Structure 1
Amino acid sequence: MIARFLLLASVASASLVVPAAYAQDQAPSVDPSLAEADADAIAGGIVVTARRRAEELQDVPIAVTVLNAQTIEQTGSYNINRLQQLQPSLQFFSTNPRNSSLNIRGLGVPMGLTNDGIEQGVGIYVDQVFYNRVAAAALDFVDIEQIEVLRGPQGTLYGKNTTAGAINITTRAPSFSYEGKAEISVGNFNFKQAKATVSGPITDTLAVRIGASFTDRQGTIYNVASNQHVNSQDFLGLRGSLLWKATDTLNLTLSGDYNLQNPICCAQIYAGYGPTQRPIGRQYPALTALFPNPNGPGTYAVPSTNPYDRVTDVDAQLKARNEQGGASLRAEWDLGAGQLTSVTAYRYWDWQPSNDRDFTGLALTTISQNPTQQKQWTQELRYAQSGETFDFVVGAFGFHQTIHTTGQQVQGPDASRWFFTGDSTYNSLASDPTVLNGLTANNDIRLKNSSAALFGQVIWHVNDKLNIQPGFRVNYDKKRGSYNSVVTTPAGQILTFADTSLRARAQRSVLAPQFFDETFSDWNLSYDITASYHFTDAVMGYATYSRGFKSGGLNLNGVPLDSAGVPQTSVAQVDPEKVNHFELGLKTQFWDRKATFNLTGFWTEISDYQALVNDGQNSTLRGYLANADKVRTRGIEWEFSARPSERVSLYYSGAYTDATYRKFTNAPCPQERAGGSAATAANPESAAGRPGVPGSPSYSPAVCDISGQWLPGISKWALSYGVEFNVPTQVLGGDGQFYIGWDGNYRSKFSSNASRSTYMDIKGYTLNNLRLGFRNGDGLNVYGWVRNIFDKDYMELLATTPSNTGLIAGQPGDPRTYGLTIKANF
C-alpha cells in the first residue's frame, strides 16, 4: 500500500519538471457536470462523439446520457457498478469479473451466461478502442474525461455486438498547457483511494499525460473459516498517453494502460432455502444434517441464515486476480475536405480466479476455477466529411481474438455423501468418500475469433430543419473453438464411458468427460435509418428504425452427451440474434435554456435470442446455450436537468421498461419446479409435467414454457435523481463555495433468475447518498460523503446452486459507507 501511494505521489510530483514555457492553446474540455457546469454548458455546450464526430448533445438523434469526470468523481461512481446508480437504463451484475453481465434496457446478455463462445450485446469502447470482454467493466475508471451511455442498437457505427447499446468512454487527452490533479479519499471499511494525473508539453509539438489510480477496501463479508474479510477491493490502474502534432494537419496519439485487481474475492453467501421437487432427503436441510458441525455441537449449519449479518464459512481459497492492459495508436489526419482516422490497438486479459462453488463450509467442491488468457487486436480506419447538404462517414474494421481457458474442478471428501445419499441408483456409494474425493475435471477451452466489417452513415440535410440519416454495416465472423474436459478418478485413472461399473457411472454423473471441435462462420448486414426534425432551435424530434444482430457463436461450456458419451454437436453452434428496433425521441431545452428535458420511447424485438435452454429431445437432459424464439423490450425513458440559478442544480431521470420473453417454450424450469422425476407417459401427472408439493417425491417437466415472463435483471421502474445547493463564501481571503449535494436511485422488483422463480425475485430498493463540502476557483475541493445513508439492506443478485438442493446464494449490496475526499488542481 505504501509503495502504491509513493507511486501516485511520484506521478503528481513529476509535474514539477514539465516546462510550462511551451504552453499552447488547449482544446476546450467537455464539462457537462450537472453539479458544477455553468448555464452555458447546460444550454447546449455538452459535446459528444456518439456519431464518431464532435457534436452538441441536443443535436444528436440518439438516446444518450453523458456523465463527465466531475459528476463521476463527486458521486463516488468510480466504476460501472456504481455508474448504474446514475443511469436508470443500465444494469450491471457481477459475481466476479469473468462472470459479469452488462445490460441496457434489459438486453445484452442474460445473467449467468458466461461462455467463451458468445459475446456481449453492449459494446465497451475506451478512446475508440473496442473491449470485447465485459471484464473490462469491472475495473475502476482511470483519468476519465467523460462517459457516454448510448441506448438502443448502435450496430452501424459501433459494430455487431451493440444490439442493446454502447458505453463510449473518453479519457483526458495530453495538454499543451501545464496541469496536474491529485485526489485522496479515506473512509470506513479501511477504504483508501488515491488518484493523480499530470500533463504538459515536452516540446512545442509533443505533449504527455500520465494518470494513476489506486483503490483499497476491506471486504464487507467476514469469513469465519479463514478469519478474514472477503469481497474486498484492491485496484491499481496506470494510464499514459503521448500526443505528437506531427504536422499542422496530422496528430498521432500513443496510449497505454495497465490495470490490476487482486482482491480477496468473491463469495456469495447463504441467502435462503427454497424447496424443489427433489425428495425431502435430497434437499439442503436434510443433506447438511448428515455432517457434523466443525465449529460446535450438532450438525452442520452456516454461521448465519440472515445474509445481512454478512458472514460466511466458505472453505475454498478465494482469489480474483484480474489483469488487463494494452496499447493503441490513433492517427487523425485533416485532409481539408474531411478527416481520416486510424485506430490500431492491442489488448490482453489475464484472469486468475479461485472460487468456492458449493457455497458452504463443507468439502464438496474443493477447487473450482477457470483461469483465462485473452489477446485481441483491432484496426479501424474511417473517413468523415461534412458539407452543406451531406455529412458522411465510411470505414472498415478488423478484429482478431484468441482465448484460452484452463478450468479445473475437484471434488472433496464430503462429496459422495452429499451427491449420493437417497439417490435410487447410487445410494450404496454415499458412505464411501473415495468415490468422489479427488475426482478432477481439467477443462481446456480454446477460441479463435475473427471478424471484419465495412460500414457507412450519411446525414442528408434536406433543409435547415429536416435531416435523414441512413447507415449500414456489413460484417463477417469466423470462430473456431474446442472444448476438452478430461476427468481423472481419485486413483489417477482417466475416466471414460467404456467403464460401465457402478462406481464409474456414479463419477460420470458428477463430472463427465467430453471433447469437440467446432467452426462457425457467417455474414450479416446491419442497417438503420433516422429522421430528425428541429421544430425550433431548442426542440428536436426524431424517429429511428434499426435492423441489427449479435454474432452467433459456439457452446464452449459443453453440450449434452448421449448414453455412450458422444457429444451432441448438433447443438454446438448458436445462431446470431436478429434485432428489430423502433425508437421515437424528443429533445428540448427551455427556461431560457436553463433546463433540459429529453423523452424517448422504444420497442425492440429480438429473434433467436441467445439463452440457456433445455431440450427434451436430447437423450441426456442438460442445459446448454441455444436460441429462444423471441424476446421483446419496450418502454419510456426521460431525463430532466436544470440550473435555475448559480446556486442550484438538479436532475431527475427515469425509465419504465417492459422486458419479457415473447416465446420461449424450452427453457430450464425454475427451482420450485425442478429436481423431480422425469415425466413419463405412464403417469398422467408426470406426462403433463405438473409438479407436486415441493419437498415430496414428485414429477418435474423436462422443459418449461416461460413465454410472457420477465427477462432477468431488469426492473419495470428505475429512477435516478440529485440536487446540489451552494453558498458563496470567502475562506483565507479567497472566493469559494460551501455546497451540499444529495443523489439517489430507485429500482423496483426484478427477477434474478433466467426463468423467473418464486424464490428469486429481488424486492425493490432505494439508495440515497449525501455529500457536504467546500470548493474554490483554484481547484481545491474538500468534502465528506455518505453512501447508502439509511443503511438499506438489499441484494445485488441471487443465484441457484448446483444439484437442485434448494440452497439460494446471494450477494448483498454495500452497507452504509462514509468518508472524506480532498482534491486539488495545480
Structure 2
Amino acid sequence: MVRRSILSTSALAAAFLFHLPASAQDAQPIPQDDPLTVPQADGFAGAGDIVVTARRRAETAQSVPLAISVLGAAQIESTGNFNINKLQQLTPTLQVYSSNPRNTFVNIRGIGAPFGLTSDGFEQGVGIYVDDVYNARIAAATFDFLDVSQVEILRGPQGTLYGKNTTGGAINITSNAPTFDFEGKAEVTFGNLAFKQGKAAISGPLSDRVAVRFGVATTTRRGTIFNVKTDRTINEQDNLGFRGQILFRATDDLSLTLAGDYSQQNPECCGTVFVRTGLTQRALNRQYDALAAAQNYVVVSRNPYDRLTDIDASLQAGNKIGGVSLKAKWDIGPGTLTSITAWRFWDWKPENDRDFTGLPIVSKSQNPSQQDQYSQEFRYNYSGKQFHFVVGAFAFNQRIDTQGTEAQGAAASRWNLTGALAADPSVLNGLTARNTQWLKSTSLALFGQLSWKINDALTIQPGVRLNYDKKSGFYRRRVYNGAGVEISCFNPAPTAGTVLAAQCGVYSPQTSAPSVSDWNFSYDFNVNYKIARDVLVYATYAKSFKTVGINQNGLPTDAQGNPIASAGTIMPENVNHFEVGIKTQFLDRRATFNVSAFRTDIKDFQANVNNGQLGVLRGYLANAGKVRTQGIEADFNFKPNDRFVAYVNGAYTDARYVRFVDAPCPPELSGGTTVTGTQVLSAPGVPGALSPQNCDISGQRLPGVSEWAWSWGAEANVPVNLLAHDGELYAGVDGNYRSNFSSNPSPSAYSWIKGYALTNFRAGFRTDSIDIYGWVRNAFDVEYLEQLQLAPSNVGLVAGTVGDPRTFGGTIKFNF
C-alpha cells in the first residue's frame, strides 16, 4: 500500500513535468543587497519567487537544492500560528509536542530530540535560529513570534552552512529589519475563552545613518481545562514580549545591528486530564482502580473531553527568555564578512503535578533552571560567476543550573508500598528529594560549503565541518524524611522491609559528575541539475552527527543501588543521510510542485528512557542500536491570478527503531517481578506476572511520528469599494491532518493517539492600510489529544493533554 502511494505521487510529479509550458519566463534576478530587505514570502508559501537565505545568501526558494518550507508573515498570522508549537499545522514533516515549555520537542521527519522528559545533557537535532542566533534549548525558543518577516524550515542535516550542527534540520526565523522610511503596524485580536492578543511594531530613521525598530506582543487566554480542586481553569496563556533593533550604517560597506529581546510567560500551566487505564503486570490490588477505591478516590471525569481535572499540586510555568546580539556585515569586494555575537538567557520556574491525580501522592514537583549561553560566529560569503562559497567559525558556551525539589504526600505510602507499611502514611509523607545540578557545555567548529557551477545546468556543492565538543556536569540528590532528617541508603544498605528501605526505594541519594569531550568530522555533497528553466533536480548525501552527551538527571543503578558510572556519558549519533528531489514551476510560474524522497540512518541513536519507578530515576539517556527514517514529501502551490491562491502539502514518513534490543518495557510488560535469563514470561497486561528487565522494540515506530501528514489551504478575494475605501473581500480555509502516532518512547498499547484533522476558516476585508477579519479555528470542534503521559509506579494510569476546542474571534490590523 505504501509503495503504491509513493509510486502514485511520483507519477503525479511526472505528469506535471510533461506539461511544463515552453514559454516560461526567466527568473527575475535577486537584488544583491541585505537579504533582509528583499521581498519575502507573501500570504501563502510557494506563491511567486520567494526569497530565502537558507544558503546564507539571498536567492529564490526554487533555486535552493534542498527541501525547504517557507512561511510568510501573512500566512503565519492569518492562520493563528503565533509560536513554534503551532507551526506543525502548516508543515507536515514538522512535529512539535509539548507538555510544558521545558518539555517541548521539535522534530523534523521524526528525528531531532528524543521523546520523554527533557535532559540538558543532549543536543537538539533541529536547530532554531532567530536572526542568525542559535537557541540552544527548545524551551528557550517557546516565545511568541514578534515582528517576524518569515520562517524557513530546512529539512535534513544542516552543519556546513550553520553555526551549530543539527541532524534533523533547522528552523530559520527572520525578523523585520529597521528601515530608513518611517513605517508601523498594529494588530488587536479578541476571541472566545477570553482570548486577547495585541501586536505592534514601529520603525524609522534617527539620522541618515541610524534606523531603529521596536516591537511588542502580548497574548492572554483563559485555560481550556477546569480544575475542580482549585475552582478555576488551567493551561492558560499569559505571554508578553519585546524586541528592539538599532541599525547603524557606518559606511556604504559596513553595517552594525544591535538587537535585544525579552519575553515572559506566567500561566497556571500545565495540567493533565484522566484519559484511560490499562493493565500492567503489577499486582491487581496495586493498580490504579484498586488503589483509588482503597482511598475512596473517584476521579472527577473519565472522559478527557469533559476537560475536567482534580489535580491537587500547584501548577506554574514561569518562563523568562531574552538576550542581546550584535551583527556586523562588511562588504569586502565580491564577498561579505559577517560577525554575530550573542548572549541569551533562560529562566524557568515550574511547578507540576507528577502523579496526575487528585490524591496527595507527589505533593511537590519543581525543577527551576537558569541558562546563560554565549555564541560567536564569523562567516565569509563569496559570490562569483562560477563559484560561491561560505566559510565560517563558530564558538558556543552555555551553563545551565537546576535546583529540584520533589516531595511525597500523605497518599504516597498506600500508592507505592505493600503490607503494613502501605497502611502507614507517615512512612513516605514528607519524604523529600532535593537535587542540585549544573551543566557546562562548549562547542567549537569550522565549517564551509562550496557551490561550483560547472556549466549553466550542472552545479556541485561539497561541504565540510570540523567540530569539538566538551560537556561536564554535576548532579547531587539529597533525601530527607518527613521529620527533615537526611537519610542514607548505602554503606550499609537498609534492611529489606524496613521504613528506611521503603524510603530508599522511592528516593535514593546519588552524586555523579560525568564529563566527556569529542571531535567530529562531517561532510555533505550535493549535485543539482537544471533540466529546464524552471525544473531543478538534485541529490544529496550527508555524513553527519549529533554530538556526545551526558546523563544530567542522575544515573541508573545496579542491583546494589550504586550509580552505574559508565552510563554517565552517551556516544554521539552517527548519521548517514540520502535525499533526492525535484523542484518545478509551470503555467508561467503560477504553479509550483516539489517532491523529495529521503532516507536517514542513525547509528547509536540517543534515546530518552524511563524505568517506570516513581522517584528513583525520572529518565535517562541511552544509545539505541540503530534508527531509520525514510519517506517522501510533496508540496503543491497554485496562484493562477491575484484573486486566488491554494496549496497542498503532504508527507509519508516511516521512522522506526531498526535495532533497540535493551529498551525500557512499555507499561503492559512492567510492574511485576523483574526477571532475567530464560524464564517464561507472561502475556502483556497480566497482573502479578513476571516482567522482563528490558524489551526488544526493534522494528517498531519512533514516538511522535505520524506516517501520513497533510496540510492544505486556499484563499479567494474579490475587489470592492467599502466605506469609500478600495480593497478586497476575501475568504480562506486551511487545515491539517496527522495519522496516529505513539506518545511513549517504547510503543505501548495504551499510548497511541488516533489521527485527527483540523479545519480553520477566516473571512474579511482588507486594503493597503487595514485588514479586518473574523476567524474560527478547529471549526468542527474535533476532539483530539496532543500528548499522553504514562503515570509512574506502573499503576496503569494514562493522563493526557487535550487539544484546543473550537475557538473563534476577530482581528483588526493597521499599517501606516
TM-score tier by shorter-chain length is: over 0.9
Secondary structure of the structure 2 residue equivalent to 1:42: coil
1:229 to 230, 233, 255: 233
2:184 to 180, 189, 199: 180
Please say which of residues 739-748 and 554-563 is displaced more in the overlay. 554-563
How far did 1:201 drift?
0.3
How far did 1:822 drift?
0.2
* Structure 2 residue identity aligned to 1:573: T
2:649 to 620, 644, 653: 653
Q: Does residue 324 of structure 2 align to residue 327 of structure 1?
A: yes
2:494 to 475, 497, 500: 500
Task: Report what 1:821 is aligned to.
Answer: 811
Please say which of residues 180-189 and 133-142 is displaced more in the overlay. 133-142
Identical columns (%): 55
* Structure 2 residue identity aligned to 1:487: V
Q: Does residue 454 of structure 2 align to residue 462 of structure 1?
A: yes
1:93 to 94, 97, 108: 97
2:524 to 504, 525, 528: 528
Work out the CA distance in 1 between the residues paired with 2:441 and 2:355. Answer: 33
Q: 1:782 to 1:801 in 2, by over 3 A?
A: same
Q: 1:27 to 1:50 in 2, by over 3 A?
A: closer
How far did 1:676 drift?
1.3
Task: Report what 1:219 is aligned to.
Answer: 223
Q: Does residue 47 of structure 2 align to residue 42 of structure 1?
A: yes
2:763 to 772, 790, 797: 772
Q: Does residue 447 of structure 2 align to residue 451 of structure 1?
A: no
Task: Report what 1:538 is aligned to.
Answer: 534
Q: 1:666 to 1:621 in 2, by over 3 A?
A: farther
Task: Report what 2:800 is aligned to.
Answer: 810
Task: Report what 1:17 is aligned to.
Answer: none
Asked if the contact 1:100–1:135 (Cα under 8 Å) also holds between the matched residues in 2, the reply is yes
Task: Report what 1:276 is aligned to.
Answer: 280
How far did 1:489 drift?
1.2
Secondary structure of the structure 1 residue equivalent to 2:420: helix
Q: Does residue 774 of structure 2 align to residue 784 of structure 1?
A: yes
Q: Does residue 146 of structure 2 align to residue 142 of structure 1?
A: yes
- Describe the superposition over 1:361-412 as per-residue Cα deviations: whole angstroms up to 9, x where unpaired: 1011111011000000000001111112211111100000000011110111
- Describe the superposition over 1:453-497 as per-residue Cα deviations: whole angstroms up to 9, x where unpaired: 001110011001110000011000011101100111112221112
Work out the CA distance in 1 between the residues paired with 2:684 and 2:627. Answer: 31
Secondary structure of the structure 1 residue equivalent to 2:160: helix
* Structure 2 residue identity aligned to 1:271: V
Work out the CA distance in 1 between the residues paired with 2:66 and 2:684. Answer: 50
In the alignment, structure 2 segments of 5+ residues that lack a partner are 1-32
Task: Report what 1:391 is aligned to.
Answer: 388
Secondary structure of the structure 2 residue equivalent to 1:116: coil
* Structure 2 residue identity aligned to 1:500: P
Task: Report what 2:666 is aligned to.
Answer: 670
How far did 1:755 drift?
0.9
Work out the CA distance in 2 between the residues paired with 1:472 and 1:289. Answer: 62
Secondary structure of the structure 2 residue equivalent to 1:156: coil
Q: Does residue 268 of structure 2 align to residue 264 of structure 1?
A: yes
Q: 1:776 to 1:615 in 2, by over 3 A?
A: closer
2:729 to 729, 733, 738: 738
Asked if the contact 1:613–1:666 (Cα under 8 Å) also holds between the matched residues in 2, the reply is no
Please say which of residues 141-150 and 495-504 is displaced more in the overlay. 495-504
Q: 1:317 to 1:453 in 2, by over 3 A?
A: same
Work out the CA distance in 1 between the residues paired with 2:463 and 2:440. Answer: 29
Asked if the contact 2:313–2:353 (Cα under 8 Å) also holds between the matched residues in 1, the reply is yes
Matches within 5 A, 1:38-437: 42-44=47-49, 46-291=50-295, 299-420=296-417, 423=418, 427-437=419-429
Q: 1:206 to 1:258 in 2, by over 3 A?
A: same
How far did 1:565 drift?
3.9
Please say which of residues 626-635 and 725-734 is displaced more in the overlay. 725-734
Secondary structure of the structure 2 residue equivalent to 1:634: strand
Asked if the contact 2:241–2:263 (Cα under 8 Å) also holds between the matched residues in 1, the reply is yes
Work out the CA distance in 2 between the residues paired with 1:181 and 1:26. Answer: 21
* Structure 2 residue identity aligned to 1:358: D
Work out the CA distance in 1 between the residues paired with 2:609 and 2:316. Answer: 30
Work out the CA distance in 2 between the residues paired with 1:646 and 1:727. Answer: 9
Task: Report what 2:477 is aligned to.
Answer: 485
Matches within 5 A, 1:565-576: 565-576=561-572
- Describe the superposition over 1:254-302 as per-residue Cα deviations: whole angstroms up to 9, x where unpaired: 00000000001000111110110111101000001121xxxxxxx2111
- Describe the superposition over 1:178-215 as per-residue Cα deviations: whole angstroms up to 9, x where unpaired: 10100000000000000000000000100000000000
Asked if the contact 2:430–2:481 (Cα under 8 Å) also holds between the matched residues in 1, the reply is yes
Q: Does residue 431 of structure 2 align to residue 439 of structure 1?
A: yes
Q: Does residue 546 of structure 2 align to residue 550 of structure 1?
A: yes
How far did 1:113 drift?
4.0
Q: 1:27 to 1:354 in 2, by over 3 A?
A: closer
Asked if the contact 1:186–1:819 (Cα under 8 Å) also holds between the matched residues in 2, the reply is yes
Asked if the contact 1:160–1:549 (Cα under 8 Å) also holds between the matched residues in 2, the reply is no
Work out the CA distance in 2 between the residues paired with 1:823 and 1:553. Answer: 46
Asked if the contact 2:134–2:164 (Cα under 8 Å) also holds between the matched residues in 1, the reply is no
In the alignment, structure 1 segments of 5+ residues that lack a partner are 1-23, 292-298
Asked if the contact 1:787–1:816 (Cα under 8 Å) also holds between the matched residues in 2, the reply is yes
Task: Report what 2:607 is aligned to.
Answer: 611
* Structure 2 residue identity aligned to 1:144: V
Give the paired residue count. 777
Asked if the contact 1:177–1:200 (Cα under 8 Å) also holds between the matched residues in 2, the reply is yes
How far did 1:55 drift?
1.1
How far did 1:25 drift?
12
Work out the CA distance in 2 between the residues paired with 1:356 and 1:136. Answer: 22
- Describe the superposition over 1:757-801 as per-residue Cα deviations: whole angstroms up to 9, x where unpaired: 111111110000000100012x20000000000000000011111
- Describe the superposition over 1:431-460 as per-residue Cα deviations: whole angstroms up to 9, x where unpaired: 111111111100011111001000111001
* Structure 1 residue identity aligned to 2:520: N
Secondary structure of the structure 1 residue equivalent to 2:75: helix
* Structure 2 residue identity aligned to 1:231: N
Work out the CA distance in 2 between the residues paired with 1:280 and 1:382. Answer: 62
Task: Report what 1:296 is aligned to.
Answer: none
Task: Report what 2:17 is aligned to.
Answer: none
Task: Report what 1:11 is aligned to.
Answer: none
Task: Report what 1:13 is aligned to.
Answer: none
Work out the CA distance in 2 between the residues paired with 1:102 and 1:390. Answer: 35
TM-score normalised over the length of structure 2? 0.93
Task: Report what 2:719 is aligned to.
Answer: 728
Task: Report what 2:505 is aligned to.
Answer: 509
Asked if the contact 2:741–2:755 (Cα under 8 Å) also holds between the matched residues in 1, the reply is yes
How far did 1:621 drift?
10
Asked if the contact 1:623–1:668 (Cα under 8 Å) also holds between the matched residues in 2, the reply is no
How far did 1:158 drift?
2.1
Q: 1:163 to 1:235 in 2, by over 3 A?
A: same
